[in-house]
Structure 1
Amino acid sequence: MLATNRDAELYHSAPIPIEKEWIDYNGHLNMAYYNVVFDRGGDEFLSELGFGPTYAAERKLTIYTAEVHICYVQELHLDDVVTVTNQLIDYDSKRLHTYLEIIHKDGWVAATCEVLSLHVDMSGPKVTPFPEDVLPKLEFYMKEHAQLPAPDRVGRAIGIKKK
């Protein structure tokens, strides 16, 4: 589902309610389940791009995650409802670079996630180029999302800053 955000459009997932089983002994969403939320919202965007379950089943091609960087910004609790925004930052013949945010129903950012994904031939498995027929969707979103400002958290490294 496309929704207007800033001057261009980000892809927004369907609403995702926070489930009871995801809450830890501290009373908030356990860090592992932020990944679950990102995965669900990210899978919707991958399906929009043409890389969903049918693509995998029929073509024996799919998307694997190679690297993820999550920033936990604000706690989520039971009964919270969120959506996941998806922004295509870049792609080449075999890889996708995406940026996702978990957005609380009240509009604030709960977490951010930067992902490098690989296009994989499942018969290997081995990394393989995207087929020509999926490139128009990638080109559309690349053009659309290139109009958005670069997210502040893209390209961050983990480390302790020394004074």
Structure 2
Amino acid sequence: MSEAPLMTTIPDDPLFKTRVQDAWVDYNGHMNDAEYARVFSLAVEALMDRVGLDEAGRAEHGYTIYTLETHLCYRQQAHRGEALSVALMLLDSDAKRLHVLFTLTNADGDTLATSEQMLMGIDIESGRPGAFPEPVAASVEALPKAGDEWPKAAGRKIGIRR
């Protein structure tokens, strides 16, 4: 498999948009690292809305999504008031899990951070993993996919290179 470029945004169809809030800026004068995680968490909520698991969908299906694992990579600083956009790429999925890559960019399209995540579908009543309800599964199929070109930002491991 060839490696796709780091940039994975879908300029015409961002999953989530926001701006760097004043409260997110730290003593270094840029967005605090924890706030990047907040933005990606909000992007998971936007993903849930997109696949039909907004508040009404969760109630109707008795189903939600939990985050099992996340790998956040910081690329560039974000500053007070800066416009942010999060794009989604579905790397893989099965009946109850989503392996996704979120890419956070600024208004110029520069990659600020990426968050690779494993998400699990959960039956709310039992609190246990369960298969996506059919309408949700159909919506998952419509998500933008990585295809044969694995993004360079995905599948990284952490460690000191020697």
Provide TM-score, normalisation by structure 1: 0.86
Q: Per-residue deviation at 1:34?
A: 0.3
Q: Is the 8 A contact 1:10 1:86 kept in 2?
A: no
Give the partner amino acid of 2:140.
L
Q: 1:118 aligns with which of 105, 117, 120?
A: 120
Per-residue CA deviations over 1:51-86 (Å, capped at 9, x if unaligned) read 222222232210000000000000111011110001
Aligned mates of 2:122, 2:97 — CA distance in 1: 9
More helix by share: 1
Aligned mates of 1:139, 1:15 — CA distance in 2: 23
Q: Which residue of 2 aligns with 1:69?
A: 71
C-alpha RMSD of the superposition: 2.1
Aligned-residue sequence identity (percent) comes to: 32
Give the partner amino acid of 1:24.
D
Q: How many residues align?
A: 155
Q: Which residue of 2 aligns with 1:104?
A: 106
Q: Which residue of 2 aligns with 1:38?
A: 40
Query: Where in structure 1 are there 5+ consecutive unaligned residues?
Result: none
Give the partner amino acid of 2:159.
G
Aligned mates of 1:17, 1:44 — CA distance in 2: 15
Provide TM-score, normalisation by structure 2: 0.86
